[in-house]
Amino acid sequence: MRAQTPLHATAVLISDYSTVTIDALGNFTETGYLPVTGFQLGGNALTPTGLNTDYGLYLAFTGTGTTTTNDPTTTFNFGNFTTLTYTLYGYNGTATFGFSGNTPTETASGEMALASGTLISGSVLTVPTGGGTFSPSANAMLTVALNQPTFFSPDPFYSVALTAFSNTPSQVEPFAGGFRIRQGGGSLNFAPVPEPSSTAMLLGGLAAAGFLGYRRQRKQG
């Protein structure tokens, strides 16, 4: 197994492949994948060696809630999450993310669940640009998967926030009853942000190396 070095970070940078559907009463469902593209520490970008070449990370999520019932292509809509669940996975090699019709897809193999999260509170906003940009902001509790030492300080719980999503008109693809977000951008922030010394995230260095080593041992065994 390769040497394991902790990665200190305060934010996880993610891309967004998701589908949002909204009914006539303003009830919405959003589901999809958030591939990890990098990390930040104090606003500075971090790109761990091997990320998205030797291994990758993504979050699979589903959220539901309510919004105002204005036409999202012409009028701002405001609402709240009522449910939000997500799981952080690690996998070997590379993967692609996209859609089959309106269903988000991923091609990762050998996934291992590293952590999961549930809603504390959250709000949503649709902006009348490109068919209705969906901008979620949610606080959630992140729980480390059993026997997977993915995070340090504190262990095993984190309070995190899905924030700073920015989807350009070209990334929002409307269809009857909703829209797709293709390769949008966002971040997963630790809230409140701890001191960097207490935010040792074993993702890029330690968790990925440990994940790859664990997979090798399983294959050899």
Q: What are φ and ψ of residue 97, in 5° steps? A: -125, 140
pTM over 0.75: yes
pLDDT at res. 204: 39
Contact status, residue 112 vs residue 142, Cβ threshold 8 Å? no
pLDDT value of residue 155: 46
With a cut of 70, list the residues of the chain below it in pLDDT: 1-7, 72-73, 129-133, 144-159, 163-164, 166, 190-221
What is the four-CA torsion angle of 215, 13, 41, 204, rounded to 10 degrees?
10
**Predicted pLDDT at 159:** 66
Helices (H), 59-189: none
Q: Which residues contact 53 (CB under 8 A, 6 or more apart)?
A: 94
Report yes or no: 97 and 129 within 8 Å, Cβ to Cβ: no
50: left (phi over 0), alpha (psi -120 to 50) or beta: left
